Structure formats: C-alpha cells, structure tokens
Amino acid sequence: MAPTKKGILERLNAGEIVIGDGGFVFALEKRGYVKAGPWTPEATVTHPEAVRQLHREFLRAGANVMQAFTFYASDDKLENRGQTLKITGAQINEAACDLAREVANEGDALVAGGVCQTPSYLSCKSEAEVKAIFKKQLDVFLKKNVDFLIAEYFEHVEEAEWAVQVLKASGKPVAASLCIGPEGDMHGVSPAECAVRLVKAGAQIVGVNCHFDPMTCVKAVKMMKEGVEKAGLKAHYMVQPLAYHTPDCNCQGFIDLPEFPFALEPRILTRWDMHQYAREAYKAGIRFIGGCCGYEPYHIRAVAEELAPERGFLPAASEKHGMWGAGLEMHTKPWVRARAQRHYWENIRPASGRPKCPSLSTPESWGVTKGHSELLQHKEATTTQEMKHVLEMQKKAKASA
C-alpha cells in the first residue's frame, strides 16, 4: 500500500510550501476544449485525455495540488444564457475528481474540489437557493473523497461566506479565495475585512485568485493577513494570481480590460517574472502559492524552481530546463550562449514588437455588479434586444472614459 500523504493543513502547519496548479479554463480554451463565454468544464467528460494531460504537466512542473476542474460546474451556470449541455453538473464534477485523483496518485499531490461564484447570486437569489447549489457540488466531492475544498473566484465576500459555511459542514479543510485586489470586493469591503469574515465563517486558508497580476495579488493577501492578525485570528494564506500584467486595472480586474479575453497575450508574464512573484509571496508569509488564468506549466515550474532551496528539491520538469538559462550554453550561436546567466534574464525588458500599441489600456469600468438589472441571468439565450442594449451601454462607457 502507498504511504498516506500528509494533508493540506498538516503541510502548512509544518511550514511547508504548497504549490498550486495553473489556469485550466484559459489553458484548455487555447487548446480547443473550453468555450470562451460560458467557460464551463464539460471537457472532463467529453475530452478527459486533455484534462488528464494538463494535470500531468502541472504535476511534472512542481504542483502538489491537483485542483479538480470544477470551475463553473454548478447547474445554474451550465444552463445559463442558452447553453444546452446534455451533461449534468454531477457528471462533470465526478469526472473532474476522478481525473485529478488519478494524476495526484502519480506523485505527492493532493486533490482539491472547488466551488465558485454563481449566476444565482448575481441574480439576487436567496441565501438558501445559493447554498443549495454549493451543496450539490459538495455532495460529489464527499462521494469522491477529495482531500480538501476550495471556495474560489468570488467577487463578493457575502457569497464566499455562504460557500465556506456549506463546505465547512463536511469536516474537510476549507480554503477561501476571492478574486479581488487591494480595493476590496465589488461592494467595497476591504481585503482585511473580507479575510476576517472568511476565517470566522470557517476557512482555515484565505487569499485571492485571478483578476489581477501576481504583485497586486500578493499586496491584497498582505492586507488580508494584517486584518486577520489584528483581529486576533489565525489562518494560512494562499495566492493564485493571473499570469498577465494588470497595472491599469481597477476594482473589477482584468475582465474590464478591452483586451479581455482574446488579446491578452502581450501582457503575459515571463518565467523570470514568476521567480520574482514566488519570492515575494514567500517573503509575505504566503505558503500556498499557485496560479490562475494565463498560467501554463512552465510558469509553475518557475515558481517551483525559485522555491527549490526552501522545498529541498527541483520539479521533474527541470530535467529539461537549465536554471536561469544554463541550457543555452549548449546553443550553436555565441550571442545566445552569452545569455546563459541569471543577470541577463533578471534584467531583461521584453519588447512587445507592437510599435503602434500602447503599454496600458483604459478599463471599461461599467460599474455593474450584483443588484444591477444587467446582471440578472436566465436560461434562455441572450436576445437580440439584450445585445443591442449592451452595445449601447458599451458606447456610453467609452464616451465617458
């Protein structure tokens, strides 16, 4: 029998670094297995080999959490705005757990089951109705015996609290991660207060994911940590940011950028940026360090390589990657061989190759969030009249920018 793995809290309590995986939604959309717009994870059923392979690549890169691909796998999201899948949320969640467990068993990785924000909450459904949605996913996670649970990608701390309360009833460790920056959630609740509320709701790990670049997310988690400590509470901290530079973002994050989601590539962080991120997160006292949208396995490998001295080992994928470009010593061209040094890559200032493009964008800043009629969701497809209305809103937003 295989030895019993240490759990997530056992690892964090011992001061170990836990490395999360990357952004499955964006990575699989680029590979042709996820549809941009609904962003739902039916690929766990329709193309399990694609999901399995991505898990394996993140495991090889150094991740020791295999997060089941259950993002937006709630029934209300699967039926939103004209989507007509012949696959249930339970089927998707079960397949996701099986795939994550299969790959986790190939290494020293844990399996996390996750829930995220719902169309029902944005449509102002009741607390009981929203919690019932989380409970349906939790039932699958318990059936599949995941190692711990994550409530992630919440713009509103209230909905995240509801998710934590549901997940906490399972008795399994719970992490809670908001998609917020230093300005707080979409109703202006500060990161510090958000963290305190999540810990009081029962989360043992709190932090942020998505919507902002690594340094912005680290800053937000520092604010959370300060708030928790000031309140006399205790928690572990996690961060799983974007792999995109977002210095021009406002409270809503990258989805307000005009490049979202199909023209973000010029903003991608390099592997060397990831070294800096990993070090800053570690210095901030964050021990669960991973990635979200935009992250590919080589980004996670860079995180693992930067933290190898603390972890005591390199990831398997480093077999094909010389530290700080050392493999370039084998290059045929002498000017490329000269780049096989840390100083060169730490100081590189990458050009975009786009002379007519600006370095920053103007976020659209519609200011629409829960409580606005434009965010009411429905099962029917978006109508022509609805599209006409949003295009008129877009025109007004651009005129006032």
Give the residue ranges of the annotated binding site for Zn(2+).
Answer: 210, 292-293
Bridge partners for 177 per DSSP: 152, 207
Strand extents, DSSP E, 18-88? 18-19, 65-67
CA separation for the pair 33, 325 (Å, rounded) = 32
* 157 half-sphere exposure, CB direction, 13 A CA radius: 25
CA separation for the pair 264, 244 (Å, rounded) = 7
- Indicate the SS3 state at residue 237: strand
Question: Scanning the structure block, which residue is given the tokens 């937003």?
Answer: 397
**Tokens, residue 64:** 């020791």
Q: Which CA distances in Å does 33 have to 120, 287, 349? A: 25, 31, 33
Q: Which CA distances in Å does 117 have to 30, 34, 40, 219, 360? A: 23, 18, 13, 23, 29
Which of 201, 182, 199 is closest to 191 using CA atoms?
182
CA separation for the pair 175, 206 (Å, rounded) = 6
DSSP state of 62: T
DSSP state of 360: S
Q: Which CA distances in Å does 71 have to 24, 44, 113, 234? A: 9, 11, 9, 28
Q: Which CA distances in Å does 352 have to 52, 269, 296, 299, 359? A: 33, 12, 19, 19, 9
Q: What are phi and psi of 37, to 5 degrees?
A: 120, -80
Question: Scanning the structure block, which residue is given the tokens 């903003």?
Answer: 267
Are 285 and 237 within 8 A, CB to CB?
Answer: yes
**Tokens, residue 69:** 């691909």
Q: What are phi and psi of 13, to 5 degrees?
A: -65, -30
Annotated binding site: 210, 292-293
- Indicate the SS3 state at residue 154: strand
